């Protein structure tokens, strides 16, 4: 996979304006208000979109329903749908610097990280499903348990309402678009109003790849637009990625109509550092990156670092040294490792959490750099002496703050990691990979990385236990999530 090279001189980033709503393969006029998207680093406008009206949502759903029945889509084989995804990936790859820069500009992801974290991940997902489309079994014949023969067919669920967060718009969109299209579904995508521009630009690569009109439609809007989609009688399934609070509401609305629903929600993941860890630079940098990547705004961020009491000061000191090396600044500077958080509200909430933790007995080991104005910067922070019961260890912060929690033996480390309302991800770090695997197997979370801060594999299921969600994205499991099995006994 090739990703954007952020070492290039930044291209001039002109305002990207997308007037109207994307329905039936074109930007259609809308009566909606214009939304100007501003950079969280500079607070300058970077583009604009139109906020969809209820009538636009109806039109987008109608277009997706019509596309479900169209020859151009319904008659396309799964192999051809996979090839189509391959062409989308080719078109995206050619413009990966442009896409990375646009997402970086709208939501503040450091350009250097965005090349893989925002664009390379989306490419990886598209390529994975290009391949899986050719391998997936959509029909099988089996012997009936009562004698005779049964045909089990896998039919597309139908029209998908796909609701996206702002922190990884292209990646989270690809995780829905690719398996849904392999399954033969059509969709209405609702990007977040904080980061709609990269998704709007995606229409150009979908068209270049030859996607039939109406298969993917886009309505930008606030929560109310998402709610209209969630309650829409023409939508067969909601595929949501976002906060646990919104996910609970969406799940309740879907349940009322027995609408299918998958929820990819928040996390408060742990990194368990085992006693035998060798504190080489790659390990310590990896632990810190597990918290600070994307300015701390990653659903799988391993913000609770569980540290053995026997080596507490040494390990916390090493974490602080690695944090001190972070370059905080303008996300468009290729040297920047940590940029701003998404909004003033997020900055204030994170700062308040840190203050409350210190009042509750936590100790600031380091707070890196300055807060280069005028954007919404939070100083990357490492806190020691944090108790797992403190709010800072229980609530998702979504900012560059690591907390070091002391444990005495491995059983306690496992218990602390599992003592959370969330269950999205974790990491286990050890000199002994087999031991780390055994510890990983005891965690009640959807994915665990050994000696890495990236608990994600595009070809394997990803999702949450407990309040981190229901359902899975990634791998063939995600294709199954967009299918309804039908049994014909003949
Ligand atoms: P959010 O819940 O505020 O919003 C997500 C999306 O849902 C937005 O498009 C928003 O407009 C829409 N929305 C909000 N309320 C809604 C409602 N009642 N009905 C319908 N739509 C509604 O989340 P966010 O701030 O955009 O994203 C950050 C959150 O997303 C974090 O909690 C993060 O952990 C989570 N996230 C999870 C994953 C995952 O795969 N588990 C991936 C990325 C982000």
Q: What is the pLDDT of residues 313-371, one digit of tens each?
A: 999 999 999 999 999 999 999 999 999 999 999 999 999 999 999 999 999 999 998 88
Domain check: are 322 and 352 in the same one?
yes
Domain check: are 189 and 305 in the same one?
no
Distance (Å, rounded) from C-alpha 251 to C-alpha 261? 7
Q: Which class for 474: exposed (0-12), middle (13-18), buried (19 or more C-beta within 10 A)?
A: buried
Distance (Å, rounded) from C-alpha 397 to C-alpha 291? 11
Determine the pLDDT at residue 369: 83
- Written as one string, the DSSP assignment of 338-401 is B---S-HHHHHHHHHHHHHHHHTT-EEEEE-S---TTS-----EEEES--TTSHHHHS---SSE
> How many Cβ atoms from other residues are within 10 Å of residue 162's Cβ?
26
Distance (Å, rounded) from C-alpha 235 to C-alpha 379? 42
Q: How far is the CA of 186 from the centre of ligand 1 (A)?
A: 21
Per-residue CA distances from 186 to 29, 62, 234, 433 (Å)? 22, 11, 12, 42
Determine the pLDDT at residue 13: 59
Query: Would the CB of 98 count as within 6 Å of ligand 1?
Result: no
Q: How would residue 95 be classed by pLDDT, with cut points 50, 70 and 90?
A: very high
* Residue 426 counted as domain residue: yes
Domain check: are 354 and 483 in the same one?
no
Q: How far is the CA of 8 from the centre of ligand 1 (A)?
A: 32
Query: Would the CB of 165 count as within 6 Å of ligand 1?
Result: yes
Residues with a catalytic annotation lie at 264
Determine the pLDDT at residue 1: 34
Q: Taking 60 as the threshold, does the pLDDT of residue 145 lie above it? A: yes
Query: Would the CB of 445 count as within 6 Å of ligand 1?
Result: no
Scanning the structure block, which residue is given the tokens 């413009």? 95
Q: How far is the CA of 402 from the centre of ligand 1 (A)?
A: 22
Domain check: are 357 and 227 in the same one?
no
Number of domain units in the chain = 2
Q: Taking 60 as the threshold, does the pLDDT of residue 2 lie above it? A: no
Query: Would the CB of 456 count as within 6 Å of ligand 1?
Result: no
Domain check: are 312 and 448 in the same one?
yes
Q: What is the average pLDDT across 471-477?
A: 98
Token pair, residue 41, equals: 């680093």
Q: How would residue 173 be classed by pLDDT, with cut points 50, 70 and 90?
A: very high
* Residue 445 counted as domain residue: yes
Closest CA to 122 of 104, 105, 99: 99
Query: Would the CB of 132 count as within 6 Å of ligand 1?
Result: no
Per-residue CA distances from 396 to 92, 99, 232, 424, 484 (Å)? 32, 28, 30, 12, 34
Q: Taking 60 as the threshold, does the pLDDT of residue 235 lie above it? A: yes
Beta-bridge partner residues of 160: 187, 237
Domain check: are 255 and 402 in the same one?
no
From the CA of 396, give the closest atom in ligand 1. 32
Q: How would residue 108 be classed by pLDDT, with cut points 50, 70 and 90?
A: very high
Distance (Å, rounded) from C-alpha 474 to C-alpha 125? 8
Query: Would the CB of 170 count as within 6 Å of ligand 1?
Result: no
Q: How far is the CA of 265 from the centre of ligand 1 (A)?
A: 7
Residue nearest (by alpha carbon) to ligand 1 atom 18: 246
Determine the pLDDT at residue 373: 81
* Residue 1 counted as domain residue: no
96-107 helix and 169-183 helix, angle to the nearest 10 degrees = 120
State the CATH number of the domain containing residue 93.
3.40.605.10
Domain check: are 256 and 308 in the same one?
no
Domain check: are 16 and 93 in the same one?
yes
Q: How far is the CA of 165 from the centre of ligand 1 (A)?
A: 4
Query: Would the CB of 267 count as within 6 Å of ligand 1?
Result: yes
Query: Would the CB of 303 count as within 6 Å of ligand 1?
Result: no
Q: Taking 90 as the threshold, does the pLDDT of residue 12 lie above it? A: no
Token pair, residue 259, equals: 């609408």
Per-residue CA distances from 305 to 301, 316, 328, 466 (Å)? 10, 9, 21, 20
Per-residue CA distances from 175 to 185, 402, 461, 479 (Å)? 14, 28, 11, 10
Distance (Å, rounded) from C-alpha 472 to C-alpha 484? 15
Query: Would the CB of 129 count as within 6 Å of ligand 1?
Result: no
* Residue 463 counted as domain residue: no
Q: 372 in helix, strand or coil?
A: coil
Domain check: are 254 and 373 in the same one?
no
Query: Would the CB of 474 count as within 6 Å of ligand 1?
Result: no
From the CA of 299, give the closest atom in ligand 1. 34
Q: Which class for 234: exposed (0-12), middle (13-18), buried (19 or more C-beta within 10 A)?
A: middle
Token pair, residue 87, equals: 């062409």
* Residue 46 counted as domain residue: yes
Spacing of C-alpha 24 from chain mean position: 26
Domain check: are 211 and 339 in the same one?
no
The chain-wide mean pLDDT, for the chain, equals: 96
* Residue 484 counted as domain residue: yes
**What stretch of H or E contains 17?**
strand 16-18
Q: Taking 80 as the threshold, does the pLDDT of residue 10 lie above it? A: no
Residue nearest (by alpha carbon) to ligand 1 atom 8: 192
Domain check: are 236 and 333 in the same one?
no
- Ligand 1 pocket mutation, candidates 37, 163, 165, 230, criterion most atoms within 8 A of CB: 165
Q: How far is the CA of 299 from the centre of ligand 1 (A)?
A: 10
Spacing of C-alpha 124 from chain mean position: 14
Gyration radius from the chain CA atoms: 23
Closest CA to 265 of 406, 167, 161: 167
Domain check: are 124 and 24 in the same one?
yes
Q: Which range of residues forms the domain containing residue 289?
A: 270-458
Q: In this structure, are residues 93 and 238 in contact, taking their beta carbons and an 8 Å threshold?
A: no
Determine the pLDDT at residue 18: 97
Residue nearest (by alpha carbon) to ligand 1 atom 28: 242
Closest CA to 162 of 250, 266, 45, 99: 250
* Residue 359 counted as domain residue: yes
Distance (Å, rounded) from C-alpha 307 to C-alpha 284? 12
Q: What is the pLDDT of residues 242-267, one digit of tens each?
A: 999 999 999 999 999 999 999 999 99
Residue nearest (by alpha carbon) to ligand 1 atom 10: 223
State the CATH number of the domain containing residue 295.
3.40.309.10
Q: How far is the CA of 246 from the centre of ligand 1 (A)?
A: 6
């Amino acid at each position: 996979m090739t990703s954007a090279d952020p070492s290039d001189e930044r291209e001039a980033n002109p305002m990207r304006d997308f007037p109207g709503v994307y329905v039936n393969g074109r930007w259609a006029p809308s009566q909606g208000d214009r939304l100007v998207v501003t950079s969280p680093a500079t607070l300058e406008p970077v583009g604009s979109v139109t906020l969809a009206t209820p009538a636009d949502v109806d039109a987008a759903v109608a277009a997706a329903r019509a596309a479900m029945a169209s020859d151009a889509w319904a008659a396309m084989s799964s192999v051809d749908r996979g090839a189509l995804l391959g062409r989308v990936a080719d078109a995206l790859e050619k413009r990966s610097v442009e896409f990375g820069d646009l997402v970086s500009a709208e939501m503040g992801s450091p350009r250097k990280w965005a090349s893989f974290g925002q664009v390379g991940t989306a490419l990886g997902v598209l390529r994975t499903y290009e391949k899986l489309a050719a391998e997936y079994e959509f029909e099988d014949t089996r012997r009936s348990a009562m004698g005779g023969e049964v045909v089990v067919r896998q039919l597309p669920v139908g029209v998908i309402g796909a609701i996206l967060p702002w922190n990884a718009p292209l990646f989270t969109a690809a995780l829905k678009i690719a398996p849904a299209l392999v399954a033969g579904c059509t969709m209405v995508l609702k990007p977040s109003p904080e980061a709609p521009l990269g998704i709007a630009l995606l229409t150009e690569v979908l068209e270049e790849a030859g996607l039939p009109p109406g298969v993917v439609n886009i309505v930008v809007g606030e929560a109310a637009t998402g709610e209209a989609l969630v309650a829409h009688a023409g939508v067969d399934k909601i595929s949501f990625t976002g906060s646990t609070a919104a996910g609970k509401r969406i799940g309740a609305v879907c349940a009322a109509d027995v609408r299918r629903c998958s929820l990819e929600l928040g996390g408060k993941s742990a990194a368990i550092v085992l006693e035998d860890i060798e504190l080489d630079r790659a390990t310590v940098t990896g632990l810190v990156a597990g918290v600070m990547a994307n300015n701390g705004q990653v659903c799988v961020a391993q913000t609770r670092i569980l540290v053995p009491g026997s080596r507490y000061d040494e390990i916390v000191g090493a974490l602080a040294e690695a944090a001190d090396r972070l370059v905080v600044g303008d996300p468009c500077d290729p040297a920047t490792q940590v940029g701003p958080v998404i909004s003033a509200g997020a900055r204030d909430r994170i700062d308040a959490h840190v203050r409350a933790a210190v009042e509750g007995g936590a100790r600031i080991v380091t707070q890196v750099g300055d807060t280069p104005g005028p954007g919404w910067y939070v100083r990357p922070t490492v806190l020691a002496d944090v108790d797992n019961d403190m709010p800072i260890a229980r609530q998702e912060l979504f900012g560059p703050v690591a907390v070091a929690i002391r444990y005495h033996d491995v059983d306690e480390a496992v218990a602390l990691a599992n003592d959370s309302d969330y269950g999205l991800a974790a990491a286990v770090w050890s000199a002994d990979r087999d031991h780390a695997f055994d510890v990983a197997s005891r965690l009640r979370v959807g994915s665990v990385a050994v000696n890495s801060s990236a608990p994600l594999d595009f070809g394997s299921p990803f999702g949450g236990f407990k309040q981190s969600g229901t359902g899975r994205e990634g791998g063939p499991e995600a294709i199954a999530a967009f299918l309804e099995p039908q049994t014909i006994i003949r």
